[in-house]
Each structure stands twice: as structure tokens, then as C-alpha cells.
Chains A and B, each alone.
Chain A
Amino acid sequence: MKSTAWGIVLAVIVALLAALPWIGNTVLVQFGINVLLLATLAQGWNIIGGFTGYPSFGNSVFYGLGAYGVAIAMVQYHLPFWVGMLLGLGLGIAFAGLLGLAVLRLKGHYFAICTLGLALVMTAIVSNLEIAGGNIGLVLPLLRSEVLFYELALGLLVLATLTIFWLSHSRFGLGLIAIRENEESAAVMGVNTTLYKVLAFMLSAAFTALAGGIYAYYITFIDPVGVFDIGLNVKMIIMAVFGGPGSVLGPVVGAFILSVISEVLATKVTSIASMFFGIVIVIAVVFMPRGIAHLVQHIKRAGWRYFIDNVRTHRL
């Protein structure tokens, strides 16, 4: 019964979020689009980073490919938006599949560094592609309908979260967690680790690319440095890790909380704002390395000792 209660609460929250454009003002809706897209990116990262345990710094590449898919389809070929979304989705998934086969052989720091390089390489490549507008970028047709973008972003986030809910209750998801916990053991017990890792990377890429596609049409102008941005990748990692990697709702909660705080700081106390994410990383790593989701589950029983125990067990 507890899970049905949860389901109802979440459905109400989603309904309220969906109704926001009719309640709030334009500024709130614009802020909402950004938060929803960031939350989707955090969820996308959650699949490869949180569940599978591969800390990807290459997800911004999928975001960029999704954005360029829409931009190229609409600007160069005058195709409708949804065709561009499909193009971006296809590019993201195909790239993740090909790339995954190569780089998912690496583990831990090596994987992180390798994927970190990819974003830089992609910026350089796309800057020299004529079809992508070179380093000047592309200007998309203007569609003044923030409500549409908002609802699209919300729909995508709900889809991503439902997918992750399914992951956490499925054979496939348990296989991914097994890979995260001990890859050699997983293989010995019958998990096709290569296939599973690549599929997880492709699934992660799918949501990230779709978010990039919505962003491109919403913002109407994209250039290589803007959409293949490592800073964005760092943000999605912080949000997912702060919220709780490997949990269903953690990354969403993390994205909402951190976005609101960073927005308030940016308008009120500009001097601290740029330090904000740095401070969050330090606090999260020292006091709650398993994120909000874990904190909420354990703080009741452990109280303040929860933080002290974390400091102790991780020897900081």
C-alpha cells in the first residue's frame, strides 16, 4: 500500500508541475524548462554512472549531438522539429554504441578521463563541419511557445524517471548494478557485461540527446562550444551524485534543489554563486557521499551520527 501512496503523491506533483505554466509567470516557466532539462540529464547520467558505475564525462557529447540533430534537420533540410529529434536521437544512440564498444573496456578514472577527452574532440570536429555551421553555429527558426517546450521537457523527464523505475525493478537493471558492484563476478554469474554496458550507455545517450534536441529548438541558437560543454556534464554528475546515484528519484531531487539554490545565489549574492557547485562537491563528498536518497533513508535511525560515520568510513 505504501507504494501506491507514493505513486499518488508523485502523480499529484507531476500534475502540479504540468499546470505550472497556467499558474506561474514567464520567468518561472523559463526557469522550469532549464531545471527539467537538467533533471533529465542527471537521470540520463544516472543510468550509466549511477546504475552501471561508469562515471561518464562524455554525456555532453550526446547532448550536443541531440541539439545538432534538430538544428541540422530544421536549418539545412527544413524538416519538422520531430524529425530533427529522431535524427538527434539516432545520432546519440549510434555514437554511444560505437563509442561504448571501445571506451567501456576502461574502468574508473581511465574511463572518466577518456570520455572527458571526447567532448573536446567533438567540439573541434563539429567546428569544422560545414553542415553544422562550423564554429559560428546554427540559428534555428523561432517558435515563441515556452509552454510547449516546458511540457515537452516535463514529459521527457517523466519518461526518463519511469524508465529508471523500471530499471531498478528489472533483470536488466540488476545486471547493471551487478556490473557496478563487481564486474568480474557479474560475468562469471552469466551477465553479458559488454552488451549490458553498451546498452546502458545507449539508453543514457537517448535521454541526453532528446534533452539536447529540446534545448536547441528552445534556445534557437547553438554553437559547438555551447552544447559540447564539459561544464554541463559536471553539473549533471553533481546533481545525480548529490541526489543519490543509482536511486530512482535522487537525481531529480538533486537537480531541483541545486538549481533553485544556484539561481537564488546568482541573483542575490553573485560573489558566492560561482563557488557554489564547488562547495556542494566538497560537502557532498565528505558528509553524504551516497546522496540525498541514502540520507533520507538512514538519517532517522542514525541522526547526526550519519554524517560522522560517513566521514569515518571514508577516512577523510
Chain B
Amino acid sequence: MDNILEVSGLVKRFHGLVAVNDVSFHLKRGEILGLIGPNGAGKTTLVSMVNGTLEPTEGDLMFEGQSMRGVPAYRRAHLGIGRTFQVMKPFPGMSVLENVSVGALFGANGGEHNLGRAREQARACLEFVGLGRRIAQRADALGGPDRKRLELARALAMKPRLLLLDEVMAGLNHVEIEEVIEDIKKIRDQGISILVIEHVMKAIKSLSDRVLVLHHGEKIVEGGTDDVLRDPRVIEAYLGHKRQ
């Protein structure tokens, strides 16, 4: 089983609006696939269908050879799909450590049921993303960049086999972006397959094995990173037509 994720003919309509239209792609085991496209292209909608937050209108997706049709989000988390949210959704009233502990307690295979061991795992994840000194703070007391790190730690604590990263670098400065890029490489080296949505092209270039481009909900290009970024259709999608 070479592909950890196979997506075929995925469609999502919100009443009249077609957010994602007939998108097919696959993600190989241990691969980092970049997902790019202009704002409103349907990237987050696509990711939400993979992790089960949204049900597709049409099409199907297979995770490790198993159809995910009708499988609720929490079951997909148990099977090994973890995600971060672009609009961060921490548990505001909980401490940073508790936030991440939820991932460890309930994640892959139903999580670690022992509270003490789950806390240890959560602590390790927080150290990994560089939040080790903030574990006792309330999540809503964190600043923007630290909230991004918290999102990443929460998803990691679930011990996913497929990690969906939705703009974890937005709002970070250059130094912080370098740090997160290194973190993501280390995560991949642990054998976790990654789908990464990102607007930071530097990150896409240095991370992605392949890139998939969405525009108006449709897949316009898929392929090797350098080829895709040079493709005229991609440049047009981002920058528009050249005036004649």
C-alpha cells in the first residue's frame, strides 16, 4: 500500500457555491504534499473533507485503503488523521498543557488513557514546538505565533500518521518560519505523511516533494515543486493575465 491517502472526484457544494469541484489526488506514505492556491480556492474546504469536519457532496477518499465515507471526524482522528486549523481553535479556558493533553488522550487508536502518561507526551510535544516554558499558561493568554505553535503541538500529540497543516506559518516572522520548516522536516522524518497548505513560498519550496494547485475549487496543476511553481497557469492564477 503505497498511498496513504487517495482522493477521487471530491466535490463540495454549499447550496449554489461550488467550493471544491471534482478534485482527485493522492499522497504517498512519508511524502510532503504542498497545497497552494489563491484565497478562496477551496484549500481549507478540501482539508476539512479529508479530516471529516465536512462531508463531501460527491466523491470519496481512501485513507490507508479504507473508505472514509460516513466516518465521523473523531473516528478519523483515531485512525490517524490529525489537523491544525488556519483559524486557530484552541480550548481557551484550558492551560496550554491541557490543550495538548486532549490530543494525547483521545488521538490515534483512541489515545493514551492514562492521564499522567498523556501529560508527559503532551509536554514532549510542547518542548518540540518550543512552547515548553508556557505549559501552565491559559491558551487564550498566548500571542498569535504561540497559538500557531499550540495548534501544531495539539495535532502532533494525537500521534497521527497523516498530518494536515493549514497555514501554520501565517503571521510568523522569518526566523520563526525557519524554525517551523525544520520542525516539519523532523516530523516527516518520524514517518508521518504531511499535507501542507501554505502561502509562504519559501516553505513550499523547501518542504514539498510535490505540489497541488487549486484555483476556483478545481485542481489546475499537480507535479514536482519546481515545475509547478514555473507553470504559466499557476502564475496566472496568482497574478492574473498580462495586459496585451
Q: Are A189 and B77 in contact (CB under 8 A)?
A: yes
Cβ of A191 < 8 Å from any Cβ of B?
yes
Interface centre among A177, A186, A187, A193 (most CB of B within 10 A): A187
Cβ of A171 < 8 Å from any Cβ of B?
yes
Give the A interface residue count (CB, 8 A).
20
Cβ of A118 < 8 Å from any Cβ of B?
no
Q: Are B105 and A175 in contact (CB under 8 A)?
A: yes
* Nearest chain B CB to A302 CB, angstrom units: 15
* Nearest chain B CB to A220 CB, angstrom units: 44
* Nearest chain B CB to A272 CB, angstrom units: 35
Cβ of B101 < 8 Å from any Cβ of A?
yes
Q: Are A185 and B106 in contact (CB under 8 A)?
A: no
Q: Are B51 and A188 in contact (CB under 8 A)?
A: yes
Interface size, B (range): 20 to 34
Cβ of A178 < 8 Å from any Cβ of B?
yes
Question: Contact string, B40-59, partner A, CB cutoff 8 A, digits 1/0?
Answer: 00000000000111000000
* Nearest chain A CB to B6 CB, angstrom units: 21
Q: Are A185 and B77 in contact (CB under 8 A)?
A: no
Cβ of B147 < 8 Å from any Cβ of A?
no
Q: Are A190 and B111 in contact (CB under 8 A)?
A: yes
* Nearest chain A CB to B94 CB, angstrom units: 6
Q: Are A174 and B102 in contact (CB under 8 A)?
A: yes
**Known: A170-B115, A174-B102. Is A190-B107 also a contact (CB below 8 A)?**
yes
Cβ of A271: which chain B residues have Cβ within 8 Å of it? none
- Bound complex: CA A184 to CA B54 (Å): 11
Kindly report which residue of chain A lies nearest to residue B157, judged by CB atoms. A189
Q: Are B105 and A171 in contact (CB under 8 A)?
A: yes
Q: Which of B83, B92, B101, B110 contacts A188 (CB 8 A)?
A: B83
* Nearest chain B CB to A64 CB, angstrom units: 33
* Nearest chain A CB to B232 CB, angstrom units: 37
Cβ of A190: which chain B residues have Cβ within 8 Å of it? 74, 77-78, 103, 106-108, 110-111, 158
Cβ of B106: which chain A residues have Cβ within 8 Å of it? 171, 175, 178, 186, 189-191
- Bound complex: CA A191 to CA B113 (Å): 12
Cβ of B69 < 8 Å from any Cβ of A?
no
Interface centre among A178, A181, A188, A193 (most CB of B within 10 A): A188
- Bound complex: CA A136 to CA B52 (Å): 52
**Known: A170-B115, A174-B105, A178-B102. Is A187-B91 also a contact (CB below 8 A)?**
no
Question: Contact string, B51-86, partner A, CB cutoff 8 A, digits 1/0?
Answer: 111000000000000000000111001100011010
- Bound complex: CA A248 to CA B113 (Å): 22
Cβ of B218: which chain A residues have Cβ within 8 Å of it? none
* Nearest chain B CB to A295 CB, angstrom units: 16
Cβ of A192 < 8 Å from any Cβ of B?
yes
Q: Are A182 and B107 in contact (CB under 8 A)?
A: no
Q: Are A189 and B158 in contact (CB under 8 A)?
A: yes
Q: Are A188 and B102 in contact (CB under 8 A)?
A: no
Q: Which of A174, A180, A182, A187 contacts B73 (CB 8 A)?
A: A187
Cβ of A177: which chain B residues have Cβ within 8 Å of it? 91, 93-94, 98
Q: Which of B83, B102, B158 contacts A175 (CB 8 A)?
A: B102
Cβ of B123: which chain A residues have Cβ within 8 Å of it? none
Cβ of A169 < 8 Å from any Cβ of B?
yes
Q: Which of A169, A184, A187 contacts B72 (CB 8 A)?
A: A187
- Bound complex: CA A185 to CA B101 (Å): 13
Interface centre among A170, A186, A193 (most CB of B within 10 A): A186
Question: What would 16 A/B residue contacts be, using CB atoms closer than 8 Å?
Answer: A170-B115, A171-B111, A174-B102, A177-B94, A180-B93, A182-B89, A182-B90, A185-B85, A186-B91, A186-B106, A187-B77, A188-B77, A189-B107, A190-B110, A190-B111, A191-B106
Sample of 6 more A-B contacts, CB < 8 Å, known A169-B115, A189-B106, A192-B72: A182-B90, A185-B89, A188-B52, A189-B107, A189-B158, A190-B158
Nearest 8 interchain pairs by C-beta: A181-B91, A190-B106, A190-B77, A185-B89, A187-B73, A178-B102, A192-B74, A187-B74
